[in-house]
């Protein structure tokens, strides 16, 4: 194509919250650049990815998308950062070192990641704790945004680890997990809507 700024029929302009977003169809696969919330197409709002899957009859395995919303869950990680990546690029395990041995822990076994004493660690459902050489920013880019949510600067939690959520003072939320946490898990009022939408979007 002579003019690389000209879009073809395979690229659709979609508007979300007033910002233009692109959906690119490549050999029956849909690449979604933008958020996972409500989208606006031709002046009408639609429930995000469910609308696109229904409209274009694309199964989940044919949809590749990058998330970019206010909850901080965004970006398909580069393979050099994600290590063992699944079909959508999400990290399936983390390498740890303990007792003079290296081994991997499956991401699905991790209840939450957190910062403690300037170190990043994670706690598994079996209550084992491991320290890793990753920042929370790197982690939230590497794990599935459908499964993990960064509730604040110190914690990234697994949806499967959430026991219940309670209203807290000043319109905050308090998240209770199935495993003990070193701190009370609070979500500020600016993130509560995104967090509750993330919990509902199953």
**Spans of all domains in the chain:** 11-67, 79-200
Q: Residue 152 in contact with residue 188, Cβ under 8 Å?
A: yes
Report helix, strand or coil for 51. helix
Report pTM. 0.59
Distance, in Å, from the CA atom of 177 to the CA atom of 145, rounded to the nearest integer, reads: 18
pLDDT of 172 above 60: yes
Least confident of 8-12, 55-59, 178-182: 8-12
Which DSSP letter does residue 151 get? -
Distance, in Å, from the CA atom of 43 to the CA atom of 45, rounded to the nearest integer, reads: 7
Helix (H), strand (E), coil (C) string for 164-187: EEEECHHHCEEEEECCCCCCCEEE
Report helix, strand or coil for 73. coil
Superfamily the domain 79-200 falls into: LytTr DNA-binding domain (2.40.50.1020)
Other C-beta atoms closer than 10 Å to the C-beta of 152 total 19
pLDDT attached to residue 56: 54
Strand partners of residue 39: 46
What's the pLDDT tens digit per position in 27-70?
444 444 444 434 433 334 444 555 555 655 555 545 444 333 33
> How far apart, in Å, do the first and last CA atoms of the chain sit?
40
Distance, in Å, from the CA atom of 125 to the CA atom of 177, rounded to the nearest integer, reads: 10
Distance, in Å, from the CA atom of 64 to the CA atom of 66, rounded to the nearest integer, reads: 7
Distance, in Å, from the CA atom of 85 to the CA atom of 118, rounded to the nearest integer, reads: 27
Q: Tell me how far CA of residue 30 lies from CA of 27, 52, 68, 131, in angstroms.
A: 8, 9, 16, 37
Among 28, 27, 32, residue whose Cα is nearest residue 14 = 32
Instruction: Between 86 and 39, name the one with better pLDDT.
Output: 86
């Amino acid at each position: 194509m002579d003019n690389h700024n000209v879009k073809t029929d395979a690229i659709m302009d979609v508007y979300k919250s007033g910002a233009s977003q692109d959906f690119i169809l490549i050999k029956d696969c849909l690449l979604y650049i933008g958020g996972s919330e409500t989208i606006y197409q031709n002046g009408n709002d639609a429930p995000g990815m469910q609308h696109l899957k229904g409209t274009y009859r694309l199964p989940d395995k044919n949809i590749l998308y990058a998330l970019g919303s206010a909850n901080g869950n965004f970006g398909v990680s580069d393979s050099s950062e994600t290590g063992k990546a699944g079909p959508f690029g999400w990290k399936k395990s983390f390498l740890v070192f303990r007792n003079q041995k290296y081994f991997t822990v499956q991401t699905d076994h991790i209840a939450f990641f957190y910062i403690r004493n300037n170190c990043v660690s994670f706690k598994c459902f079996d209550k084992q704790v491991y320290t890793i050489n990753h920042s929370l920013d790197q982690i939230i880019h590497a794990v599935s945004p459908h499964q993990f949510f960064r509730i604040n600067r110190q914690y990234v939690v697994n949806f499967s680890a959430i026991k219940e959520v309670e209203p807290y003072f000043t319109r905050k939320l308090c998240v209770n997990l199935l495993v003990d946490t070193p701190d009370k898990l609070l979500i500020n009022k600016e993130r509560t809507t995104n967090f509750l939408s993330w919990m509902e979007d199953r």
